[in-house]
Amino acid sequence: MSAVRTRTLEEYHADYQQSVEDPDAFWAAAAEPFTWYKKWDTVRGGDFSPGGTSTWYAGAQLNLTENCLDRHLEQRANKLAIIYEPNDPKTRHSRLTYRELHEQVCQFANVLKKNGVRKGDRVALYVPMVPLLAVAVLACARMGAVHSVVFAGFSASAIADRINDAEATCVITADGLNRGAKQIPVKSVVDEALASCPSVQRVIVIEHTGWPVDMQPGRDVWYHEEVQDVEKTCAPEPMAAEDPLFILYTSGSTGKPKGVVHTQAGYMVWADYTFRNVFQVEENDVHWCTADIGWVTGHTYGVYGPLLAGATTLLFEGVPTYPSPGRFWEVIDKHHVTIFYTAPTAIRSLMAHSVDHVLAYSLSSLRVLGSVGEPINEEAWHWYDQHVGKGRCPIVDTWWQTETGGIMISALAGITPSVPARAGLPLPGVQPVLLNQDGSEIEGNDQEGYLAIKASWPGVIRTTWGDHERARQTYFTPYPGYYFTGDGARRDENGLYRIIGRVDDVINVSGHRFGTAEIENAINQSDYVVESAVVGYPHDVKGQGIYAYVICHNGVPTTDLDNQRTEASIVEAVVAAIGRIAKPDKIQLVSGLPKTRSGKIMRRILRKVAEGETQALGDTTTLLDPAVVDEIVAGRK
């Protein structure tokens, strides 16, 4: 494996220091092992102050799949690249060696070209977690198209928004999807979306479930037919370092999700560097990241990171509790998984079942455990450590974001401290700071503030697709000179970071981000609704739940039937606009919302009520109508 590998605590301190004092040398060394068609002119360019644009390895030319695939063929051609475990354990699993994956990626890239996709075009993917999803993602990278994966759980309307924002010309989808006991006819969801997507000329359909689908002549083609007569090789397209690699939509504090853009060279170096160092990857590791490729975690640690490192990655189509709450552990034993990377919400959902489901498996192959997406509470940390890791596997609690491309703050497995409820120390190359509201840096330990990053790193977001001003405003304007994370954090007495949570109007539900405005817009689509306000509240399994306060045209319903009908309509509106994943957990129908005289909703009060802290509502005298607060408290769900 490649260079820049921190193996001891002493090395950590030395590497950290070098990364700060001589970042050019540090990041040149990290990039050295890759295949470059042309080396870079400058390692780092730009900074966070003026326009919020960094460049990394500018002037270089490369292809990511050359580095994920071709580069390994000499040494690892017959090594497993992908192990695929299907939703139903009775269906056979499958495996792809590096040689086979290379061939499939070349073929898929040729199918894209044959279907009119050119370098720089945007390709949207709405595909279940099957090996061909990874193949399709890599095929885009091979021939220079920009992939935009949309989690196959979002609604038709959400897909359409994403396709239109990126003006995608091609969509890759499948006939259907099984996720646990659920079945989703993904092709028909895409068909519904495409009714309002004029840019799309071609739909490539992967056969997976065998369910019947409507194929629109002239627009839709089957992948298995297209692949029949294409070449098995495809020369990798030389890409410039800062050409876009992918767009991934994520929620912010405004209504419309934004397309986070990552580029070729910096993302590659960052994915490889963070993967190998955080998990301390060795040649024979089998790495299982349970996140769907529809999220950034699946991009960086399900596909790119492991393949860049020449490791074996396991892709799982299913869910933790299907067909039983022992499924994760069964899969770990079956495929001898050595590194297991999942989300606190999954752990908490499994903790709710008997521990016998875990104890039934040996889990002796496991070496490292990871957590991502939200703070892991101490109880879940200890359960994970004791029952899954058997007290002998370091846990890495990895803090990062879609915008950071890869892990920023985390223990390096077995090397830097791993303490419950602490993400830990920053990786060498990452310079976190805590800021006061006025933007001044808070010095010393045992302090709390807004979490920001002081210097650029190779995986930093480059822009928001089609709207650079938005990236500038969101990340680089709140505290000039810094990348602003949107999180609050505490640096403990030992300098370890603890992430407290979002300080903006973003809710983190089961590790997935939703903007409160985004959910409110969706709720307001219901014919019953006049106005709504959404807040997060602590939820035992999901981390945060969605609590919606809603004003309806006919006031607060007086009969159960009316109430049910209204709530059903609200839920339906959210499912239609975003998807089932954003369904409110609690809906309270109210006659008014607590507003200031200037008409601003006082969310502080709504949050307190949702949290059950009705005794400590603070000053309500500046409200236009303090009486609504009493009504809201009385009707709390």
Give the per-residue contact string, 455-494, with ligand WT7 (x = CB under 6 A; - = no): ------------------------------xxx-------
Query: What binding mask, one character per residue, do residues 415-444 give for ligand WT7 by CB under 6 A, x or -?
Result: --------x---------------------
Per-residue tokens: 142 = 């091979």
Helices marked H in 472-587 — which ranges?
A: 516-523, 560-577
Phi first, then psi: what are they for 479, rounded to 5°? -135, 90
Pick the closer one to ligand WT7 by CB: 142 or 258: 258
Write out the binding residues for ligand WT7, residues 495-524 only, by CB under 6 A.
Answer: 499, 501-502, 508, 511, 513
Burial of 554 (0-12, 13-18, 19+ CB in 10 A): exposed
Residue nearer to ligand WT7 on the CB measure, 240 or 503: 503
Q: Which is nearer to ligand WT7, 261 or 423 (CB)?
A: 423
Q: Tell me the three-class secondary structure of 284-330, residue by residue.
A: CCEEEECCCCCCHHHHHHHHHHHHHCCCEEEEECCCCCCCCCCHHHH
- Of residues 528 through 587, those in contact with ligand WT7 by CB under 6 A are none
* Residue 401 CB, nearest approach to ligand WT7 (Å): 4
Closest approach of ligand WT7 to the CB of residue 241, in Å: 24
452 touching ligand WT7, by CB under 6 A: no
Q: Which is nearer to ligand WT7, 97 or 398 (CB)?
A: 398
Taking the CB of residue 217, how many other CB atoms lie within 10 A of it? 6
Using CB under 6 A as the binding rule, the residues of this chain from 394 to 413 that contact ligand WT7 are 397-402
Q: How many residues would you count in the chain? A: 637
Of 297, 312, 532, 544, the one binding ligand WT7 by CB under 6 A: 297
Question: Is the peptide bond between 432 and the residue preceding it cis, with omega within 30 degrees of 0?
Answer: no
Q: How far is the CB of 451 from ligand WT7 (least distance, A)?
A: 8
Q: What residues numbered 233-262 form the site for ligand WT7, per CB under 6 A? A: 250
For ligand WT7, the closer CB: 53 or 250: 250
Q: Which two tokens stand for residue 48?
A: 């966070």
**Minimum CB–partner distance for residue 552 and ligand WT7 (Å):** 31
Residue with tokens 């809906």: 587
Contacts of 559 (CB under 8 A, 6+ apart): none
- Whole-angstrom CA distances from 399 to 40, 170, 283, 343, 370 are 29, 33, 25, 11, 11
Closest approach, Cβ 98 to ligand WT7, in A, equals: 26
Task: State the binding string over 346-375 for ligand WT7 (x if CB under 6 A, else -).
Answer: --------------------------xxxx
* 67 three-state secondary structure: helix
CA dihedral 453, 454, 455, 458 (to 10 degrees): 0
Cα(285)–Cα(291) distance, integer angstroms: 18
Distance CA 315, CA 299 (A): 12
DSSP state of 457: -
For ligand WT7, the binding residues in 96-115 under the rule CB under 6 A are none
**Least spacing, CB of residue 508 vs ligand WT7, in Å:** 5
Q: Which residues bind ligand WT7 (CB under 6 A)?
A: 250, 296-297, 372-375, 397-402, 423, 485-487, 499, 501-502, 508, 511, 513
